Chain A
């Protein structure tokens, strides 16, 4: 193992009075796929939104504890810098409807006002679209708007958009829950291929998906981290009884 890229220490999150995450401790290994699974409402999404500080957008949200990215606490960094280093893909595909495919991919640079040369832009767009296996499908219509896409294509475009910023970590928040099975399997293939480039944290409520694509899996239940370890072990010989019950479908 090449070491830890992200360390979550004593992380608790609150919305108003309600505590949604209870003292989470995790070390996310570099360039691996880490799945976070658990029944709905267990705090999976909140957990990854705490990592790139997106939870702060919700009024009344509060966090204690630390999240260390390469040894630096993201809560003492500017959230804008944090989000450039930690990319995110959402449940619903959300390409920018006013922009072409090309501009969508390069949006992270354009919207941030980062000046790069035309050749550099072309290179980033091509590389990012190739990484998500979209290049061959769209190379002739790069300057058309992205909204005519199917859901799966839109989601891959969103992944390309996140990858274009060359993040260290990519957060995927149930990226396939709005997609059909075929598009889902393509995204899963993509996740496996992408871990060469980037550390991936995948939130899913789909146990089979977690088993298929992840190297490490965390099981979260009502805000508590029940179990976290290598996927083969967690899925074959879970340590905690609750994990076993969840995996066998007794609840969730």
Chain B
């Protein structure tokens, strides 16, 4: 009788363990399938021509996505220039002032901002930037994406800097180093790996955003380096080509998806590397 109970318990434990292992596998499956599918369909389209050529009109064979690649890079650059200084400095403020009305409000706003749907942010950028300027532009898309990057950068900066030991700050101040230099030259370098991780993750997050680009960057079939003109981007190009009725455009969309996924994957890998290599031991 007694043994019976024990046996049943052991069995239950085994089943439970089995479930845990099974569901961790299940969580890996979607990514594997996505990768497999995209590689299958996309890799055939990707070659050197594909990366350096402009799209061709319907009916002509070949054509590439160079305009979208350059466009995505420009958009990331603009949004980084806009979001990194604001995000990092806000993060510094929040880590320095854990209590207080402004900190509370800022923290709340950042959290809410993180939850705002990207299409809404796109509309806001449309109203704030596109309408006053009177045209779609790379700049307006950069604003939208910058707003999307902000919460991640603020939070990771804050969390990282909170881990920098307080005596380090005191050591600097006790040497007669002014507050701003202490922050810029002692505290920020000590938290650099975490801050860079946050920035890279936020870039990975916005690289594939489509919705906010629809009425800001708008897309363009041409190579464009002017940030005040409509510009193409990988997600926009994928959206446009995938919804077209032409099979050769579909394969370009798959190729572009492949490039985008590889880009995001590489960013994530770099992030892992940065956290490991640049970690400052206190």
Contacts and interface: CB of A to CB of B under 8 A. Distances in A.
Interface of A: 52, 54, 57, 80-84, 87-88, 90, 92, 94-98, 107-108, 110-113, 147, 158, 161-162, 165
Contact of B176 (A81, A90, A94, A158): A81
Nearest to B99: A59
A214 to B, nearest CB: 22
A158 B168 CA distance: 11
Contact of B174 (A88, A96, A110, A113): A88
List 5 tightest A-B contacts by C-beta distance, closest first.
A84-B176, A83-B176, A88-B174, A94-B167, A108-B175
By secondary structure, the B interface counts as: helix
B173 interface: yes
B185 interface: yes
9 contacts: A54-B173, A80-B176, A83-B175, A95-B171, A97-B168, A111-B175, A112-B181, A158-B171, A165-B175
B193 to A, nearest CB: 10
B134 interface: no
B172 A111 contact: yes
A155 to B, nearest CB: 12
Nearest to B179: A80
B280 A54 contact: no
Given A111-B181, A111-B182, A94 B171 contact: yes
B27 interface: no
Given A111-B185, A111-B186, A94 B168 contact: yes
Interface residues of B, number: 22
Contact of B175 (A57, A87, A147): A87
Contacts of A98: 186, 189-190, 192, 280
Given A90-B167, A107-B172, 14 more contacts: A54-B173, A82-B176, A83-B174, A83-B175, A94-B170, A97-B280, A98-B190, A111-B185, A112-B176, A112-B178, A112-B181, A158-B171, A161-B175, A165-B175
A54 B181 contact: no
B165 interface: yes
A165 B192 CA distance: 27
Contacts of B192: 98
B24 interface: no
Contacts of B185: 110-111
B171 A113 contact: no
Contacts of B190: 96-98
A57 B280 CA distance: 25
A186 to B, nearest CB: 21
A134 B190 CA distance: 25
A54 B282 CA distance: 22
A96 B176 contact: no
Contacts of A92: 167
